[in-house]
Structure 1
Amino acid sequence: MQAAARTQQAQSATIYRILFAISLGHFLNDCMQSVIPALFPVLEKSMNLNYTQIGWIAFALNMTSSIMQPVFGVFADKRPSPFLLPIAMCLSMIGMVGLALAPNFYFVIISVLFVGFGSAIFHPEGSRVAYMAAGGKRGLAQSIYQVGGNTGQSMAPLFTAFIFIGLGQFGTIWFTLIAGIGVVVLYSVSKWYKSELATRQRLKKKQSDVSFTMNKQIIFAIGLLIFLVFARSWYGAGILNFFQFYIIEKFNLPIKSAQLYVFLFMIAGVFGTFFGGPLADRFGKRNILLFSMLGSVPFTLLLPHVSLGMAAPLLVLIGFILQSSFSVTVVYAQELMPGKIGLVSGLIVGLAFGMGALGAVVFGKLADVFSLQFIMLFCSYLPILGLLTWLLPSDKRVKEIHEAK
């Protein structure tokens, strides 16, 4: 009994060294994902790509990751596999080598698929590690973990401005070093993960399992949550993939300067992700979900109509507010589906976010048919869909749903 009590007490402790390590792994993984949009201005010129082809590259990356993440998530829930983490990083390394040497559009697509598969494997297992290391601070743990990924994603404009403009496509080869560091970091995490799994399995045999069953309320809430993340991701896809081309065309900026505007949006989102967790603890998860969508609406509507000088502060405000619900969304979904950590990661971080990559394809086609200005106007209305957040059950209601079973 005393041994079991000590084990439970240890599990309630927050393991910060593991949280920061898996956050670093998340950062390195998403840095390699960021290489792909960072290459867009270079590939557009060197391979003479149109906007539709650029959209298909983004689609290949995100759809591979999104479709496979729930699959790996379900597998991780049934049979956690700690050493898939460094293996995932190895797949991304292959993708980096392929991108550096790719002679044409089709080889780029194949290389991107390796990065997508690596990401699909990493995220469910990484989310499980963050959950296991969280102890009693799940909101904070999820913020730490997600900040690593969002920071990695925000690096894309800097990679373009300071690496690929000078080194070109072959500069991608240097990111194999990042992958190598990631393999070392994640191998260390995997050893802790394996040990922790063995400890929890021994404890689980002495405890009764808490059953979880889906009902109509949970299915509706998860479906609506996925749709809201889908809408948020479409907006992000528009800014990340096409805003650089929009301000280059409208204000005649050089590529390097245009990338810094996208970076402001992305890095503000990193801070929004981190502070969203504590704000949700104080004001409620559903309230932060509502605020993150509707609170950004006045600024998204203004963005396509302002001068270049006003674009920067608006991008900062939009990025911070819109992404303040990023980690909150995951924690809210985990409470809707307790015990389904891998599946939740696949559905929210993977499927819903990746389905937003459809926006990259749609926006690319619209840019070729209409204009980049049309894309920015279309994107500006997407956060209004946040009104549907009112239909989600409140935090209190989520608890009542599970207590009633």
Structure 2
Amino acid sequence: MRRKASITLLSVGHACVDVYQGAVASLIPFLVAERGYGYAAAAGVVLAASLLSSVAQPLFGALTDRRPVPFLLPAATLLAGLGIALSATGGSYALTLVCVAVSGAGVAAYHPESARVARLAGGGSHSAMGWFALGGNVGFALAPLLVTAVVGTGGLGWTPLLVLPALVGAALNLTALRAPEQRRHLAGTAPPAGADDTASFLRLSLAVVCRSVVFTGLSSFLSLYAAQRLGGGTAAGTAALFVLYLGGAAGSVLGGRLAGRWDRVTVCRWSYLLSVAAVAGVVWVPGPALYLCVALTSAGLYVPFSLQVTLGQDYLPSRVGTAGGVTLGLTVSVGGLASPLIGRVADATSLRTALAPLVLMPVLSWLLLRTLPEPAGPGGRAEAPAAVAQRAVPKS
């Protein structure tokens, strides 16, 4: 299977998985409306989706470092979809928490191996990884539209219909993985090249955690916040969430292109500086300009997204599965741990007051990246993609 065809299938499959990450936040307004949840209870749903995923992703990353497990891609896709499909079928808060946690486990199983497979399929190209990340962001963007179309029409009792993207995604991932030449390529092993730079990897991971706190905090409460600020109820909130996720899609592609001109660390630093002003605009700029600030925030947070994945793999060339699990999964999920705190502050004060501290998070990311070195290894601009692909295969 040609490289572009493989990346296309994997990217669309990624979209079908990340629909379920976006679906958790998209379900919040409906859970608040139909079940009367407060901010803290709503944040608990986000936490349940993030907590198990946070714990499991490094474990799955370590597994993929020992041996390739591409079958996780379709299996994890189905698990993620099943959890969300069952999350609101009963009236029990505990059952909702369990189901979204199961979905989070599916997401956790998917991302480390998918990052390895996508980098191999793309030959180590930054642009290919950008397109793969774009797929996930498109899934995020489609989540509020899908949830609103289904749950807004039939109520929470219609959530089982949300399993459909998982069925499509599993089929696409199987198609990509079952091509004979792709099976031979993904099953190969090669010794890692270069020494691990654990200190730089830890600093990068902390920067991604700060980014995740911003993105997860906004995605959890932006729909409610936009409805308060602009009026228009659920429609205004859904539109704001859609802009947040769609801007991420554009940012991912732009990040891959910018990395072709400047090194990845520089691109990430400037993106986080942009995010500081954009997040401040989301919190304090009045009127419909909120949507513009949301779009700039999303682009600023997502330009570094795929670049941080390849940076992490280059800092840990002997453990690319673990690196992918952390940068693509764990640090993203950890952001959900801050959601209950934001919810409690919002219950005690106001949603604007609770969101205001998020402005500081991109500043911390910039500080962590300010002196971070650009790796000289596989992802370096001077090295050929073929060399990247050879080195990106984890040890057996």
TM-score, normalising length from structure 1?
Answer: 0.87
Task: Please state how far the C-alpha of 1:211 moved relative to its aligned partner.
Answer: 5.2
Q: Cα distance 1:74–1:396, how it changes in 2: closer, same or farther (>3 A)?
A: closer
Task: Please state how far the C-alpha of 1:213 moved relative to its aligned partner.
Answer: 4.2
Alignment of 1:160-199 (within 5 A): 160-192=147-179, 193-198=182-187
Aligned residue for 1:80, secondary structure, equals: coil
Amino acid at match of 1:181: V
User: Is residue 111 of structure 2 the alignment partner of residue 132 of structure 1?
Assistant: no
Task: Please state how far the C-alpha of 1:175 moved relative to its aligned partner.
Answer: 1.9
User: Is residue 363 of structure 2 the alignment partner of residue 384 of structure 1?
Assistant: yes
Alpha-carbon displacement from aligned partner over 1:76-101 (angstroms, at most 9, x marks no partner)? 11021222222112212331342242
1:238 and 1:375 in contact (8 A); partners too:
no
Amino acid at match of 1:243: L
Aligned residue for 1:40, secondary structure, equals: helix
Amino acid at match of 1:335: D
Distance 2:242 2:267 in 1: 24
Task: Please state how far the C-alpha of 1:317 moved relative to its aligned partner.
Answer: 1.6
Q: Cα distance 1:210–1:152, how it changes in 2: closer, same or farther (>3 A)?
A: closer
User: Is residue 346 of structure 2 the alignment partner of residue 367 of structure 1?
Assistant: yes
Alignment of 1:231-380 (within 5 A): 231-380=210-359
* RMSD after superposition: 2.0
Task: Please state how far the C-alpha of 1:396 moved relative to its aligned partner.
Answer: 5.1
Amino acid at match of 1:264: V
Distance 1:167 1:36 in 2: 17
Task: Please state how far the C-alpha of 1:252 moved relative to its aligned partner.
Answer: 3.1
Bigger Cα displacement from structure 2, 271-280 vs 60-69 = 60-69
Equivalent residue in structure 1 for 2:91, among 103, 106, 111? 103
2:229 and 2:287 in contact (8 A); partners too:
no
1:35 and 1:172 in contact (8 A); partners too:
no
User: Is residue 135 of structure 2 the alignment partner of residue 148 of structure 1?
Assistant: yes
Amino acid at match of 1:220: A
Alpha-carbon displacement from aligned partner over 1:15-66 (angstroms, at most 9, x marks no partner)? 1111111111110011122222111111112222111111111111122222
2:195 and 2:318 in contact (8 A); partners too:
no
Alpha-carbon displacement from aligned partner over 1:223-262 (angstroms, at most 9, x marks no partner)? 1111111111111112111122123223333111221012
Unaligned runs of 5+ residues in structure 1 are 1-12, 400-405
Bigger Cα displacement from structure 2, 382-391 vs 40-49 = 382-391
Alpha-carbon displacement from aligned partner over 1:325-371 (angstroms, at most 9, x marks no partner)? 10111111111112422111111011111111112121111111221
- Counterpart in 2 of 1:393? 373
Distance 1:395 1:79 in 2: 25
Equivalent residue in structure 2 for 1:61, among 29, 33, 49? 49
1:300 and 1:381 in contact (8 A); partners too:
no
1:18 and 1:189 in contact (8 A); partners too:
yes
1:69 and 1:120 in contact (8 A); partners too:
yes
Alpha-carbon displacement from aligned partner over 1:256-315 (angstroms, at most 9, x marks no partner)? 122101211221111011110110121111101101111222232233222222111111
User: Is residue 59 of structure 2 the alignment partner of residue 71 of structure 1?
Assistant: yes
Unaligned runs of 5+ residues in structure 2 are 381-396
Q: Cα distance 1:281–1:51, how it changes in 2: closer, same or farther (>3 A)?
A: same
- Counterpart in 1 of 2:389? none
- Counterpart in 1 of 2:383? none
Equivalent residue in structure 2 for 1:45, among 33, 55, 80? 33
Aligned residue for 1:255, secondary structure, equals: helix
Instruction: State which structure, 1 or 2, has the greater radius of gyration over its C-alpha atoms.
Output: 1
Q: Cα distance 1:183–1:395, how it changes in 2: closer, same or farther (>3 A)?
A: closer
2:342 and 2:355 in contact (8 A); partners too:
no
Alignment of 1:8-23 (within 5 A): 15-23=3-11
Q: Cα distance 1:106–1:349, how it changes in 2: closer, same or farther (>3 A)?
A: same
Distance 1:364 1:272 in 2: 28
Alignment of 1:210-225 (within 5 A): 210=192, 212-214=194-196, 218-225=197-204
Aligned residue for 2:241, secondary structure, equals: helix
2:3 and 2:122 in contact (8 A); partners too:
yes
- Counterpart in 2 of 1:10? none
1:292 and 1:325 in contact (8 A); partners too:
yes
Amino acid at match of 1:369: A
Amino acid at match of 2:165: I
Amino acid at match of 1:38: S
Q: Cα distance 1:302–1:176, how it changes in 2: closer, same or farther (>3 A)?
A: closer
User: Is residue 206 of structure 2 the alignment partner of residue 227 of structure 1?
Assistant: yes
